[in-house]
Structure 1
């Protein structure tokens, strides 16, 4: 059975984190640094906490992208703006995006400040051994503004969770394309969309489909068999278990309080249309699991 608390908290903090990929203020900030196109900005924004990371290192950490996708962005992005410049720019952009989306009454509220401190406490408790992206984000300084602090805490938590998920995939011999095929086969996201944005060609996709069919996990109409669904469920359960430490440290009461405070913030993001319905991580419409 899945650790519903870890999954429930992801459903609430992930929409807040996603602002960095879709808010127009962030794209404007990246354009201001000279980043050429969405994907150069994406790779620079997400990889900046790693320092002057090369394309192969970033491809390894991000896991599901074709190596050419990162190589088109890095190291060229670092010649336009160094990692510290990008980190500072993303904080300014997130500040502007959250002020625009939530308004001053929310941004300056005691409730948001409380959420920021609870989320920061959870993020600081995340175990980062073997979790490179989680560790790099956890090591960043504590932002002074509560709403930016909340965003950074959410980012640390989601990268911590993502690192754990990659470890689960590697342990199950699920390569990047196999992982995307499996996710698409659940119906959580569209295969053509995933293949396009991750930049895998049809031959690689079909080879991964053949691999999963060989395991007995993929059936007709490229949907999961019962065995495939069970394997997927177990991998998700393992991911949830690996993401449990922050919530165990925060405690049941603190976690429940943070979940309550995050819900209207996440709902506002989802209702705004900033994050597209067809999104890579399979965000729902906000029908969340209980965090208590």
Structure 2
């Protein structure tokens, strides 16, 4: 199966997954658990499949965050709510958020149930050797509600892809700051948004710029050079290739059917306005 299929599927499932970061129902659930502020909730909700992991492990898995950003949230979060309680709250919040976003008729539809089962099949087929976040999400129980099952399957696929992306970055000696700078120079995200939300100071950010300048990937104005463009395209192509296994296992026909079923769900999220304009993965609209 072509690696472009892996990218096309990511562009459809990423917006649905991102409901967990930006829907008000999810923020309310994190607050209800006693999490202090957005970032403690973010790290607890996303890292909960790993169990009570320390900040060092989560920093490694999430890759682009400064260690201090993670350490402000963990392990304090686990003293406020055990990971299993966080997972329970996460599932309930996703239920509420998706029902609000799509409406009862959609979440109860035969089409959504079909999408959930296809996505679950693909997620079970994901190769998780060396992919910690993907494996942790894949190991979670199958939710009874189809829309929650769909979200969990898409989250497994998303973290599987992300783990592969990190492996590509490590192999190319692109550290957290360099990886973000390359992405921002390619026009996929806003540099200042990335720097501030991932908590890197200006000195660390400029050091990363200097490194990419010395590698010949950025020019003096911070724009991609020809070599930088090639490097960025190769990183993305290798990420797509590493994410292809679930779709190969699902097969062309079933994958195309799932893409068709995900299209309106992804578009609803993109059109809802809940994703911020500087969304770090670059899927704020117009891709579908």
The residue aligned with 2:182 is 182
Residues in 2 aligned to 1:207 and 1:122: alpha-carbon distance in whole angstroms: 40
- Are 1:35 and 2:71 counterparts? no
Q: Give the match's secondary structure for 1:240.
A: helix
CA distance in 2, matches of 1:52, 1:189: 31
Distance apart, 1:87 and its partner CA: 0.3
Question: How far 1:221 moved relative to its partner?
Answer: 2.3
Aligned length: 287
Q: Please say if 1:124 is aligned against 2:121.
A: no
Residue in structure 1 matched with residue 248 of structure 2 by the alignment: 248
Q: For residue 284 of structure 1, report the CA deviation from its aligned partner.
A: 4.3
Residues of 2 paired with 1:169 and 1:287: CA distance? 24
Partner of 2:49: 49
SS at match of 2:221: helix
Deviations 1:69-102 (A, max 9, x none): 0100000000000000000000000000000010
Partner of 1:271: 271
Query: Is 1:166 the counterpart of 2:163 in the alignment?
Result: no
> 1:229: which partner in 2?
229
User: Is the 2:189–2:279 contact (alpha carbons within 8 Å) kept by the matching residues of 1?
Assistant: yes
Contact in 2 for aligned 1:11/1:286 (Cα 8 Å): no
Shift of 1:264: 0.2
Give the structure 1 partner of residue 102 of structure 2.
Answer: 102
What is the TM-score with the length of structure 1 in the denominator?
A: 0.97
CA distance in 2 between partners of 1:243 and 1:208 (Å): 27
Give 3-state SS (helix, strand or coil) of 1:221's partner.
Answer: coil
Q: Does 1:25 align with 2:15?
A: no
- Uncovered stretches (5+) of structure 2, i.e. residues with no partner: none
Q: Distance between the aligned counterparts of 2:175 and 2:99, measured in 1?
A: 39
Q: Note the C-alpha offset of 1:214.
A: 0.5
Partner of 1:10: 10
Q: Please, what TM-score do these two structures have when normalized by structure 2? A: 0.99
Whole-Å Cα distance in 2 between the matches of residues 50 and 160 of structure 1? 14
How many angstroms does 1:220 deviate by?
3.9
Shift of 1:177: 0.6
Distance of 1:192 and 1:101 partners within structure 2: 30
Corresponding residue for residue 153 of structure 1: 153
Pair 1:66-2:66 in alignment: yes
Which residue number corresponds to residue 207 of structure 1?
Answer: 207
Please tell me whether the aligned partners of residues 213 and 220 of structure 2 are also in contact (alpha carbons under 8 angstroms).
no
Q: Distance in 1 between matches of 2:284 and 2:96?
A: 25
Q: Distance in 1 between matches of 2:78 and 2:101?
A: 30
Name 2:285's counterpart in structure 1. Answer: 285
Partner of 1:83: 83
Distance between the aligned counterparts of 1:97 and 1:128, measured in 2? 28
Residue deviations 1:96-143 (CA, integer Å, cap 9, x gap): 000001001100000000000000000000000000000000000000
2:195 paired with 1:195: yes
User: 1:203-235: per-residue Cα shift (whole Å, max 9, x none)?
Assistant: 011111010011110014211000000011011
SS in 1 for 2:13: helix
The 3-state SS of whatever aligns with 1:222 is coil
